[in-house]
Amino acid sequence: MTKRGLLLIGHGSRTGDSAAVLRKTAALMMEKTNCRIFPAFLEFDLPSVTDAINAVKRTDVEEVVAVPMLLARGTHTEKTIPELLGMAPGKKEGELLFDDGRIVQIRCADPIGADTVLADILLSRAEAVTFRS
């Protein structure tokens, strides 16, 4: 079985709240998969995407999927993340050169997007709020 690594990429924030959510999500994902999960942030929090890629390179991972923890397509999903991963303009796949000389394929997954699971989560959050009369 191929050893897969998932690079879970979030935006990051000055408050630190998003970092905690991303790290908790990474932990929940690790409970559900045999993949290694590498959290990373575009701004404000550490590890950076570059730091996370370097961490991946020190492992025996054989393929990598970058998973943006972002809602919609935009500059970060279409330009920033692919560039940070060394992908050619307009491409969503590329290669990582590992320290031992191995070349490992990396691909970008789509952002979360509209999904019934997301709709259910948002409805449950709305239902949890009660109005006082």
Q: Is the torsion defined by CA of 33, 36, 41, 46 positive or negative?
A: positive
Neighbouring CB atoms inside 10 A of 1's CB total 5
Q: Where are the alpha helices (DSSP H) in 6-114?
A: 17-32, 49-57, 75, 81-84
Contact 120, 110 (CB under 8 A): no
Return d(Cα 41, Cα 53) in angstroms, integer. Answer: 11
Give the residue numbers marked as catalytic: 11
* Cis peptide bond upstream of 111, omega within 30: no
Return d(Cα 103, Cα 115) in angstroms, integer. Answer: 34
